[in-house]
A and B are shown apart, each in its own frame.
Chain A
Amino acid sequence: MRHLLNTLYVQTQGSYLRLENDNVRVDVDGEFKTRLPLHHLDGIVVFGNVLLSPYLIQKLGRSHKPVTWLTEWGQFTARSETPVSGNVLLRVAQHACTCDAARTLAVARFIAAGKLQNQKTTLLRSAREAAGEDAPALRQAARDINAQIAVLPLAETVDEVRGIEGTAARSYFEVFSLMLRANRDFFWLGERTRRPARDPINAVLNYVYTLLAGECASACQAVGLDPQIGFLHALRPGRQSLALDLMEELRPVVADRAVVTLINRQQLTPRDFILHEGRTVTLTEDGRRTILKHLQERKGEEVYHPITGRKTPIGLIPHVQARLLAQHLRGDRPHYPPYLHR
């Protein structure tokens, strides 16, 4: 049983984490801050200048809890490799599937279908809450995505699936800012720009996606899948393709929804951003803290899972999906069922 354990995020620069019996003890500048039982944690994510004692790193490794190191700005730099909870047959099946164009296509199609369905759900939910002329535009974008879902079963190559997914993404992001109901003059979205972000919304999305990708990579490893071997995302050295695949279904319902909520509740405001010379945008530390706190709360929220038929905390959805994918790869289920949000 995987309870929803908590990931410990340490952002405070100069923190020192060490093992104290079966607890993690956190000191800042030589002063005791907090103590947490290890068995409540499923991993630790540290930002920038945070020190972990070697005993703590080893203890975490032995208990299959990865440590993830991000830069101070939330960019992934490293993760500890725990003793592979692996099933060699699962890894062989994963590799075999990537060598089989038809099976890869089938998995990629379902992943893309899950993403598009959830984009539609997110748009329609905002349309119900939107004012005046925004609602019809949001609904029209949802219709455009519907049209892309309809052609997905006809795609004959993974490239075609990526093309369909790209077309839907354009419809989606064109109306993304219409889901916002606060500080609209500040929160505008050009096109999706990854690094560096050229507008505030991209800055937030990049940050939230990085965190979510980390969660998905951890889920792959926990189930024994190789996070670098994906189906929809092309294999590229150093790229966590499978983690990115798993993230696709969750982007609209976990990441994007969180961004919209934070802006609409005015928990994220222009004060949380730094506009640099040369038109790039970064988040302040306070802004990042606000986002982390909100995502942690979201992880505890329960949603209905259409395949297991059970209420599941959002934080566990990546684990459930990784397991469903593993079952498909091992021949235990005929298709990979993406997570469809209600």
Chain B
Amino acid sequence: MDDPIPLSALQHFVFCPRQYALIHIEQVWTENEQTARGRGQHERAHGGGSEERDGVRTLRALPLVSREHGLFGVADVVELLPDGSPRPVEYKSGRAKSRLADEVQLCAQALCLEEMFSGSIPGGYIYHVASRKRREVTFTPELRAAVLAARDGIRELLRSRRLPEPAADDRCQLCSLYDECEPFAPRDFPAGYDPFETRPIP
């Protein structure tokens, strides 16, 4: 029986498997402006409790679990429609890093909610704090499959304890672990670097 996977890990993994491994396997401790800001947003959303407006109940910091899929976590916000069916809403601060990673995380929340509320959930919302706009995401079969594929990828890394290769592409400019990862540094000695060099001295 595999340990359940936290929902936040899915998002890191889809953005970049190495970023996931640095955070969750190598336990790199880093605190930068972005993560601090993001936590502030989360803390507000994670105030807990619920409120009601126009017949829609808003639940905050709702614990989630799916035994079937081996996932668990906390949803920022879940809206209960008048008919009682839940819709996950994920809050995002800062620039969108990876559309796919955000959608996978949202869909994973829906998989938990479907099991917990015994119903099917067609879609959810991603709320961008900066623009104050919410965007609807449809949970297609492909997106659902992507959630489970990411979960399996994480399980494989936890088993092998591997540290994946750096992505070394555009993603790296947006990554808060750039320094810890050093994606563009040579993995071995660069040209001209030789600790055993013994050039004659005139």
* A interface, CB within 8 angstroms of B: 1-2, 64, 85-90, 110, 113-114, 117, 120, 124, 139, 142-143, 146-147, 149-150, 152-153, 224, 306-309, 323, 330-335, 337-338, 340
Contacts and interface: CB of A to CB of B under 8 A. Distances in A.
B185 to A, nearest CB: 5
Given A1-B32, A87-B27, A142-B201, A335 B190 contact: no
B26 A90 contact: yes
Contact of A113 (B179, B188, B196): B196
Interface string B170-202: 000000001110101111111001011111111
11 contacts: A1-B179, A64-B29, A85-B27, A85-B29, A87-B27, A90-B26, A139-B201, A139-B202, A146-B199, A149-B198, A308-B185
Size bracket of the B interface: 20 to 34
B131 interface: no
Contacts, number: 76
B29 A340 contact: no
Interface of B: 25-30, 32, 161, 163, 178-180, 182, 184-190, 193, 195-202
Contacts of B29: 64, 85, 224
Contacts of B25: 87, 89
Nearest to B163: A332
Contact of B193 (A1, A2, A306): A306
A306 B179 CA distance: 15
A89 B193 contact: no
A124 B190 contact: no
Contact of B189 (A152, A224, A335): A335
B163 to A, nearest CB: 5
Contacts of A147: 198
A331 B163 contact: yes
B78 to A, nearest CB: 32
Contacts of B180: 323
B185 A309 contact: yes
B198 A146 contact: yes
Given A149-B196, A149-B197, 9 more contacts: A1-B179, A85-B29, A114-B195, A117-B195, A139-B202, A153-B196, A224-B29, A307-B186, A338-B195
List 7 A-B pairs, minimum CB-CB distance, nearest first: A113-B195, A85-B29, A87-B27, A146-B198, A87-B26, A150-B198, A308-B185
Nearest to B164: A332
A56 B30 CA distance: 21
Residue of B29, B180, B197 most packed against chain A (CB within 10 A) = B29
